[in-house]
Chain A
Amino acid sequence: MSIVLDQLTKRYEQHAVVNKVALQIHDAEFFVLLGPSGSGKSTILRMIAGLAPVDTGRIVLHGRDVTDLNPQARDVGFVFQNYALFEHMTVAENVEFALRIRKVERKQRSERRDQLLELVGLAGLGKRLPRQLSGGQQQRVALARALAHNPAVLLLDEPFGALDAKIRTDLRRNLRSIQRELGITTIFVTHDQEEAFELADRLGVMNMGRLLEVGTPNELYQRPQTEFVATFLGSANVLLGQCNDVGVQVGSMTFPLQTSSTAEQHPAVQVVIRPEDVVLAKTEAALRSPSLGQATVETQTFVGAFERIRLRLPALPDVHSIAPVRPFGEHAILIDALRNPDEARNLPIHSGDQLWIGVRRLHALSQRGLNVLMISDSQPVAETALNIGGNLARLAHARATVVARDGNEAGLRTRIQAVREQLGAGLPHLQTRLSTTSLIETVRRETEHEPCDIVVLGTEARNAERDATQLLSVAQQHVLLVPPTAKACSKALICLSDGEPSKEDVAFAGRLLGSVGASATLISVATQTNDIDRLERFLQSSAASLRRHEVVTDSKVLVGNIAQTINAEIKRGGYDLVIVGAPLGAYSSNYDLGSVVGPLLSQLSVPVLIIRSSYLQPMPERLALNVLETVA
């Protein structure tokens, strides 16, 4: 291994810009770090070069731990986005700089310099000053300069970012052939997907300080594991289908599941259909692939070698559309298709045409992306809830929807505007909406449009029980109640009893805490001392499932009255998030919070996440109406 990054972390003012990144790069490998701006990829590169200090974690280059060494001692070559050539030195002096520092003799220096200038295609330009060269030429000089001392590792930080498209393509080829020729281990940072695909042996996709997935370009494009990677690499139709014994069901189509993408045992599964895997035909029989249904052509755009078509498919039972985003209240599903000129010639189409949509291939995501619904009402605490919920969504790469309710329309619009400004950065999938109806009706309509995993609501302790009852009675998602005193979520207390939340739900909590980077303490309260052993075993296995999500965990069994003991533990341990299971029970308007959750909420001082056991069945339609009538 040439480069090993071990749990690398960098914080700026409590905010982790690089979050526990672990990565191994092989000898002579060309590795590309790809991600949107602000994802932390450049910071990783600067840490490897020693230009930014590491907070925690290790960096090992060729078996040597360099974490605490200064840049001079690391033996890396670094190419900056803005070239950073020494402007008062000639091209030759720039290239020779590292050798001059190493006191290499003049003759050897000039030989090496000529050889490098030849390599980057600038032979004969040694006497020029950097400002007499074009941008592309300057970056070639920067590359030659970075290679002069035969570094063990070459790091390039968006080196072609400032150049125009044609020159970029040339430089890319040039760089790739130089890297092959020298066999130097290379990390290349870019936000350009095309560049990443063309250069990489393997690539890693980053977002919000986390390295989400690593693989060859082909692997990541064809078999992404997360929604972010699926939609960041090329365009994708993402649908929420159902998982059953046979495979994945989307509408009337059933696809067998490949072993590589077994979804967690959860009935809802996200499937990715690449636009080029969408088949269009006049009749269903002509598709020769599983059919999704008959759709109307919305728009048709010509993009160079291909033709991009957007179609509108009537709603399908048990299928929700996630990407492309459709307008609120729209039940139809939007599907993007891509056709090559051959296909376009065989079947000319126009907007308004009715066509059958078939799917050649689909891929199920192993990690279903989370969806957070935040309700912003006129209470002052709503602001705190937005901060907590927004941060959670950001770190968990979740889609977020903010609904402003409780106020006149003009007021709601200003509030939405403020929300967009507050949360917009770093939340790639932020949707905002207004609602003028009751809390329950709002949540019901939202979850009908797109199922969500967590509803976030700011509330005062005196209203917490009422709000929890309302939210838990209406649908099947988890509920996060945020009191005005909430600060952040970094130290969680998970309260378990051996029925609820189940281990599966602990896993959900684990995934959430893992992405936030929070630690967790598992406790279980025994009312009788002879329960202790059994509970301890139960806690051990739950703790193991949390550790799989890289959550630092300890666990203990306490004895006493459940509600009192938990409250005492919250005060004692300084926790800033409490996770409890929702009591089992049928959906009904008088949902009972039980003897644990109720008393806990009445003393709400830190956010409480109420986990909804997933084996609760969705509420029957008739009951839902019943609830609306009695509560609203």
Chain B
Amino acid sequence: MNWRKWLLISIVVGYMGILIIAPLGAIVFGAFREGVPAMLEALQHPHVLRSFGLTILICLVVVAIHGIFGTLVAWVLVRHQFMGKALINRLLDLPFAMSPVIVGFTLIVLFGRNGVLKPLTEAMGWQIAFALPGMIWATLFVTLPFMIRELMPVLEAFGRKQEEAAATLGASGWQTFRLVTFPALRWAFLYGLGLTCARALGEFGAVLVISGGIQGRTETATVYIFRALDDRQYAGAYSAALLLGAISLVLVLVIDVFHRRSQKSIEQRT
């Protein structure tokens, strides 16, 4: 029986190794083959700096918006009953299934050169497509479920008893949320933020389509790597990929801590 167990384990390890370790190793190997000085120099290129700056900016905006609205949506979906709740709940998972390219494409249809809403945005003087707002919009869509799906089960496990207790003790709705409910959600909240951030860092398809990938202007880190490879600028591509990969890895390690704390707080409640 024992050899079967070990066979199973080695299959799993091999599978994970091919899927995760190999690409990571390839990036590290590729980057260092170009030589450290070349790498550092490549990273200082204005296009690279600009693309990373843009990626981080988009990340921060998206995390801030989902931090507020994701919490709100999760709260309403768990605590209130209304018509269409089940539908909204189902539609929430759409970003998991739908290709980001389609999302980018729909935004072009809406705000592109001959877009449906183009006259409106033009009149208001807003530039959505091929600009930062469109890129944020696309990233918001693809990162929508993470925060909400993380908070909902925690809110449900938390229940209403402590909130009711706070109400009988005189706390207003906002005081109850701030002092009682939110502290109980905090680890799940941080984990949700982390996941949203990680997903936003890696977004490529939707952003490429809506931004048009204009060099040095609407290029995010992922779009830059794609173009650098295309242009055979291997030093730039490898070093940017290595940096982005490292950021993601650190993020995953940090949010894992949040995840464990969040799980623990659910267990304590049930």
Q: A72-B171, A87-B184, A101-B171 are in contact. Are A51 and B164 (CB under 8 A)?
A: yes
Q: Which of A74, A101, A142, A148 has the most CB of B within 10 A?
A: A101
Least CB distance from B157 to A in Å reads 12
Interface residues contributed by chain B, number (CB under 8 Å) = 18
**Closest A residue to B158 using CB positions:** A87
CB within 8 Å for A101 and B168 given contacts A84-B161, A86-B180, A87-B162: no
Question: Contact mask B81-103 → A, CB, 8 Å, 1/0?
Answer: 00000000000000000000000
Q: Return the CB mask of A84-103 against B: 1 if under 8 Å, else 0.
A: 11111000000001100110
- Tell me if A136 counts as interface (CB < 8 A to partner B): no
| In contact, A80 and B164 (Cβ under 8 angstroms) | yes
B72 at the interface (CB under 8 A from A): no
B155 to chain A, nearest CB (A): 14
Please determine whether B170 and A131 come into contact, CB atoms closer than 8 angstroms.
no
Q: Does A70 contact B (CB under 8 A)?
A: yes
User: A80 with B169: in contact, given A88-B183, A88-B184, A101-B175 (CB under 8 Å)?
Assistant: no
A49 touches B168 (CB 8 A): yes
Shortest A112–chain B CB gap in Å is 13
Would A97 and B169 count as touching, CB distance under 8 A?
yes
Q: Contact mask A44-81 → B, CB, 8 Å, 1/0?
A: 00000111000000000000000000111010111010
Instruction: Give the docked Cα–Cα distance between A50 and B161 (Å).
Output: 14
Which residues between 135 and 166 of chain A lie within 8 Å of chain B, taking CB atoms?
142, 145-146, 148-149
**Cβ–Cβ < 8 Å partners of A262 in chain B:** none
Which B residues, 142 to 165, have Cβ-Cβ distances below 8 Å to chain A? Answer: 161-162, 164-165
Interface residues of B in 165-205 (CB under 8 A from A): 165-172, 175, 179-180, 183-184
A82-B161 in contact given A87-B268, A88-B184 (Cβ < 8 Å) = yes
Question: Which of A82, A87, A97, A148 is within 8 Å of B166, CB to CB?
Answer: A97
Q: For B166, what are the chain A residues with a Cβ–Cβ distance below 8 Å?
A: 86, 97
Instruction: Kindly identify which residue among A50, A84, A102 contacts B165, using a CB–CB cutoff of 8 Å.
Output: A84
A142 to B164, CA, bound (A): 13
Instruction: Tell me the bound Cα distance from A145 to B172 in angstroms.
Output: 17
> A142 → chain B, closest Cβ, in Å?
8
Task: Name the CB-closest residue of B to A80.
Answer: B161
Residue with the highest number of chain B CB atoms closer than 10 Å, among A51, A102, A131: A51
Q: Which residue of A lies closest to B165 (CB)?
A: A84
CB neighbours (8 Å) of A71 from chain B are 164, 167-168
Most buried by A among B168, B172, B268: B168
Whether A70 and B167, one on each chain, are in contact in the complex, defined by CB atoms closer than 8 angstroms, is yes
**Which residues from chain B contact A98 at a C-beta distance below 8 Å?**
169-170
A472 to B179, CA, bound (A): 68
Are A145 and B169 in touch, CB under 8 angstroms?
A: yes
How near does chain A come to B120, taking the closest CB pair, in angstroms? 42
- Min Cβ gap A392→B in Å is 32
- Contact present for B169 and A131 (CB under 8 Å): no
Q: Which residues of A contact B183 (CB under 8 A)?
A: 88
Complex CA distance for A74 and B170, rounded to whole angstroms: 9
Contacts of A77 in B (CB 8 A): 168
Q: Which of B161, B162, B165, B175 has the most CB of A within 10 A?
A: B165
Contact yes or no, B162 A101, CB < 8 A: no
Q: How many Å lie between the Cα of A97 and that of B162 in the bound state? A: 12
> Residue A146 contacts which of B164, B168, B179, B268 (CB distance < 8 angstroms)?
B168
- Residues in B whose Cβ lies below 8 Å from that of A97: 166, 169, 171, 179
- Chain A hits for B268, CB < 8 A: 87, 131
- CA separation between A88 and B182, bound complex, in Å? 10
Q: Which residues of B contact A72 (CB under 8 A)?
A: 167-168, 170-172
- Which chain A residue lies CB-closest to B182? A88
Distance (whole angstroms) from the CB of B270 to the closest CB of chain A = 12
B-side contacts of A87, CB under 8 Å: 162, 184, 268-269
CB distance B169 to A101 under 8 Å? yes
A-side contacts of B165, CB under 8 Å: 78, 80, 84-86, 142, 145
Q: Which single residue of chain B is at the shortest CB-CB distance from A93?
A: B179
Please, how many angstroms separate the alpha-carbon atoms of A51 and B168 in the complex?
8
Residues of A within 8 A of B162 (CB): 84-87
Contact A76 B168 (CB under 8 A): yes
**With known contacts A87-B184, A88-B183, A131-B268, A78–B168 Cβ distance under 8 A:** yes
Q: Which of A51, A145, A146 contacts B167 (CB 8 A)?
A: A51
Distance of A77 Cα from B167 Cα, bound (Å): 10
Bound CA–CA A72/B164 (angstroms) = 10
Q: How far is the CA of A131 from the CA of B265 in the complex (A)?
A: 11
A483 and B259 alpha carbons, distance in the complex (Å)? 61
| Neighbouring B residues of A51 by C-beta, 8 Å | 164, 167-168
Closest to A151 in B: B168
- Collect the chain A residues with CB atoms within 8 Å of residue B171's CB: 72, 97, 101
Q: How far is the CA of A97 from the CA of B269 in the complex (A)?
A: 21
Closest to B164 in A: A51
> With the chains together, A50 CA to B172 CA distance in Å?
13
Hey, which chain B residues are within 8 Å of A142, CB to CB? Answer: 165
Q: Which of A84, A102, A148 contacts B164 (CB 8 A)?
A: A84
* In the complex, chain A residues whose CB is within 8 Å of the CB of B169: 97-98, 101, 145-146, 148-149
Complex CA gap A74/B269 in Å reads 29
- Considering the chains assembled together, what is the distance between the CA atoms of A102 and B165 in angstroms? 15
Give the distance to chain B from A437, nearest Cβ to Cβ, in Å.
52
Q: Given the complex of chains A and B, what is the CA–CA distance between A77 and B169 in angstroms?
A: 7
Distance in Å from the Cβ of B67 to the closest Cβ of chain A? 19
Q: How far is the CB of A484 from chain B (nearest CB, A)?
A: 34
Which residues of A in the span 453-489 have a Cβ within 8 Å of any Cβ on B?
A: none
CA A51 – CA B184 in complex, angstroms?
21
A149-B161 in contact (CB<8A) = no
Determine how close the nearest CB of chain B comes to the CB of A443; give it in whole angstroms.
47
Residues of A within 8 A of B170 (CB): 72, 98, 101-102, 149
Write the chain A residue with the least CB distance to B162.
Answer: A84
Name the residue in A72, A77, A146 with the highest tally of chain B Cβ atoms < 10 Å from its Cβ. Answer: A72
Q: B233-249 vs A: 1/0 string, CB under 8 Å? A: 00000000000000000
Question: Bound complex: CA of A97 vs CA of B166, how far in Å?
Answer: 8
Question: Can you give 28 A-B contacts (C-beta < 8 A)?
Answer: A49-B168, A50-B167, A51-B167, A70-B167, A71-B168, A72-B168, A72-B170, A74-B168, A76-B168, A77-B168, A78-B164, A78-B168, A80-B165, A84-B162, A84-B165, A85-B162, A85-B165, A86-B166, A86-B180, A87-B162, A87-B268, A87-B269, A97-B169, A97-B171, A98-B169, A98-B170, A145-B165, A146-B168
Interface residues of A (CB under 8 A from B): 49-51, 70-72, 74, 76-78, 80, 82, 84-88, 97-98, 101-102, 131, 142, 145-146, 148-149
Binding site for A on B (CB under 8 A): 161-162, 164-172, 175, 179-180, 183-184, 268-269
Can you list the 6 inter-chain pairs with the closest CB atoms, starting with the nearest? A84-B161, A98-B169, A78-B168, A71-B167, A84-B165, A88-B183
Contacts A71-B164, A80-B161, A86-B165 aside, 15 further interface pairs with beta carbons under 8 A come to: A50-B168, A71-B168, A72-B167, A72-B170, A72-B171, A76-B168, A77-B168, A85-B165, A86-B162, A88-B183, A97-B179, A101-B175, A142-B165, A145-B169, A146-B169
